[in-house]
Amino acid sequence: MTSKNYLIDILKENQVFKTGDFVLSSGKKSNYYIDMKKAITEPNILKTIAELINEKITYEGIDKVAGPALGAVPIATAVSLQSKIPLLMIRKEKKGYGTSKLIEGELNEEDNVIVVEDVTTTGESLIKAIKTIQENGGIVKKAFVVVDREEGAIDSFKDENIEFEPLISVNEFF
């Protein structure tokens, strides 16, 4: 069985946590950065993340696993492959060509969906992706994040009445 401590160890080994001066996607400045793009390009880390999420989901009743582009798509793909649950990819915005969809993959009315993300700060971008799923008929059962920076995401998800589970928090890492 894969453990949270093992995930922390391999993230440390791969130097995913960096110190310095950074601007986050939320616009906040930070003296550390969690380079999950580096992490999710390492097969062992990606496999470990998928195993941990798969241990936590109830297969009964989950129809789709979704991830917002870009960072969560490899995670959602790994979870999908391991669980055999079909995948959805959520775009940040509609593309101006082809089908112009925000959701790639087949989302049916009232599909039960779990959503995954690499890192959350405030949770705003993940909540936006969840609302896209809800507006298109999906029922989001739970949101998972690999690392929560503990800067408001938990409260944001409570406010939206969405179950939220980080695999690890930044304080557990440090």
**Was 48 annotated as part of a binding site?**
no
CA distances from 14 to 22, 23, 35, 120 (A): 19, 21, 10, 20
Which tokens belong to 48?
């470990």
DSSP state of 123: S
- Read off the pLDDT band of 174 (50, 70, 90): confident
**Was 124 annotated as part of a binding site?**
yes
Q: 28-60: per-residue pLDDT in tens? A: 899 999 999 899 999 999 999 999 999 999 777
**Was 118 annotated as part of a binding site?**
yes
Q: Which CATH number fits domain 49-173: 2.60.40.790, 3.40.50.300, 3.40.50.2020, 3.30.300.130?
A: 3.40.50.2020
**Was 95 annotated as part of a binding site?**
yes
**Was 132 annotated as part of a binding site?**
no
| Residues with Cβ within 8 Å of residue 144, at least 6 apart in sequence | 53, 56, 114, 115, 116, 117, 165, 166, 167
**Was 156 annotated as part of a binding site?**
no
Q: What pLDDT is attached to residue 119?
A: 93
Strand partners for 89: 67, 104
- How does 105-126 read in b/e, with b if 16+ C-beta sit within 10 Å? eebeeebbbbbbbbbbbbbebb
Would the pLDDT of 101 be above 80? no
Rounded Cα distance between 93 and 116, Å, is 18
**Was 123 annotated as part of a binding site?**
yes
**Was 77 annotated as part of a binding site?**
no
Mean pLDDT of all residues in the chain? Answer: 91
**Was 2 annotated as part of a binding site?**
no
Residue 63: how many CA atoms within 13 Å on its side-chain side?
A: 14
| Whether this model's pTM surpasses 0.85 | yes
Q: 74-83, 92-101, 121-130 — which one is most confidently predicted on average? A: 74-83
Residue closest to 88 by CA, chosen among 106, 112, 70, 111: 106
